[in-house]
C-alpha cells in the first residue's frame, strides 16, 4: 500500500488548518496514496497548551470531525489527524473542563475507522499538558486496518513508552503511526529519531513518525522500515512524503529477528 506523511504547520485558525489538510489530501490522492497521516493537534495548535484548547474542543460528531470525514470521502483517501475532543468531568471543586487529545482515523469513504485518546500526557520541560488535556480513561491499544495492513496509533510522548508499541504490535500492528507535535529542546531532535528507530527495530514494524513544523515543533517527520532504516525523512518546512510499504517487509524482519517469539518477560 501507499502512505503519505503530511508535515504541516497548524495554527489557531481552524478553518485554515482544515483547508490545509484538504489541500494535502488532494495532493496525496493524486499521487495514488491510500492513507495520509497528519500530526497531533492538526485542527488547532499553538506553542503552549492552554484554556483555548479546551474551548476549541468538540465531540467526535462535531463540525471539525465532519469536515475531516467529508474531505476523506471527497478524495477517496484514508486520513489520520489529531483533533481536540470535548470532555466534561467533575472534580472535588466542582465542574471542570478538559479536552481529549484525540487521533481520528477515517476511511476513504468517510467512515470512522478508529479514535485514539492520548494515554501519556506531556508534563515535562515546564509543560503541563494535563492541566488542560485529559488522558484516556482506559489505556488500551487502538488499531485499524487499511490497504491490507494493520496500523497502531500513538501520540507524541507515547513514543517514550516502549510497552505501548509492543502491545500494539502484539495486537497485530504492522505500522505504528506516531502523530506528534514534538516540543523543541536540547537533544530533542536526536531523541525523536532514536526513539522512533528503536520502536521499529524492537517490534519489527514500520514507524511513520509525523510532526508539526517549527517553531511549535521540530519537523523531521520520517518513515522507518522494520529494520530501523529511515526510508525517507523530511526537514523543517511543511512538506509531504509518499512511499510504498508492504507487509512482506514486516514478515521478513520478524523472521530475521523473531523477538516477538523469544521474549520471556511479560
Q: Which of 118, 129, 146, 174 is flagged as catalytic?
A: 118
Quickly list H helices, the chain.
14-30, 51-55, 63-75, 162-170, 188-203, 247-256, 259-262
Cα maximum dimension of the chain: 56
Q: Which of 156, 174, 179, 197 is flagged as catalytic?
A: 156
How many C-beta atoms lie closer than 10 Å to residue 263's C-beta? Answer: 10
Q: Which of 40, 45, 85, 174 is flagged as catalytic?
A: 40
Fill in the DSSP letter of residue 133.
B
Q: What angle do CA 263, 223, 75 make, to 5 degrees?
A: 120
**Separation between Cα atoms, residue 169 and residue 232, nearest integer Å:** 22
Active site residue 40: yes
Active site residue 118: yes
How many C-beta atoms lie closer than 10 Å to residue 109's C-beta? Answer: 11
How many C-beta atoms lie closer than 10 Å to residue 54's C-beta? Answer: 20
Write out the catalytic residue numbers. Answer: 40, 118, 156
Amino acid at each position: 500500500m501507499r502512505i503519505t506523511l503530511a508535515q504541516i504547520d497548524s495554527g489557531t485558525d481552524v478553518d485554515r488548518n482544515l483547508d490545509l489538510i484538504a489541500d494535502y489530501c488532494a495532493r496525496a490522492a493524486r499521487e495514488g496514496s491510500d492513507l495520509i497521516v497528519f500530526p497531533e493537534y492538526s485542527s488547532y495548535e499553538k506553542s503552549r497548551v492552554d484554556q483555548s484548547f479546551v474551548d476549541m474542543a468538540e465531540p467526535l460528531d462535531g463540525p471539525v470531525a465532519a469536515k475531516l470525514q467529508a474531505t476523506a470521502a471527497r478524495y477517496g483517501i484514508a486520513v489520520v489527524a489529531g483533533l481536540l475532543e470535548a470532555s466534561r468531568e467533575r472534580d472535588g471543586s466542582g465542574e471542570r473542563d478538559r479536552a481529549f487529545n484525540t487521533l481520528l482515523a477515517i476511511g476513504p469513504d468517510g467512515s470512522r475507522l478508529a479514535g485514539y485518546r492520548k494515554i501519556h500526557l506531556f508534563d515535562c520541560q515546564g509543560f503541563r499538558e494535563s492541566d488542560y488535556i485529559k488522558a484516556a480513561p482506559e489505556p488500551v491499544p487502538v488499531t485499524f486496518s487499511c490497504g491490507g495492513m494493520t496500523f497502531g496509533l500513538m501520540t507524541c510522548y507515547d513514543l517514550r513508552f516502549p510497552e505501548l508499541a509492543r502491545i500494539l504490535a502484539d495486537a497485530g500492528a504492522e505500522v505504528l503511526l506516531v502523530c506528534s507535535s514534538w516540543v523543541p529542546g536540547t537533544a530533542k531532535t536526536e531523541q525523536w529519531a532514536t526513539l522512533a528507530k528503536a520502536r521499529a527495530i524492537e517490534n519489527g514494524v514500520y514507524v511513520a513518525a509525523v510532526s508539526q513544523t517549527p517553531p511549535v515543533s521540530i519537523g523531521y517527520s520520517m518513515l522507518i522500515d522494520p529494520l530501523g532504516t529511515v526510508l525517507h525523512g523530511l526537514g523543517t518546512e511543511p512538506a509531504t512524503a509518499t512511499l510504498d510499504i508492504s507487509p512482506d517487509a514486516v514478515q521478513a524482519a520478524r523472521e530475521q529477528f523473531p523477538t516477538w517469539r523469544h521474549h520471556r518477560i511479560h
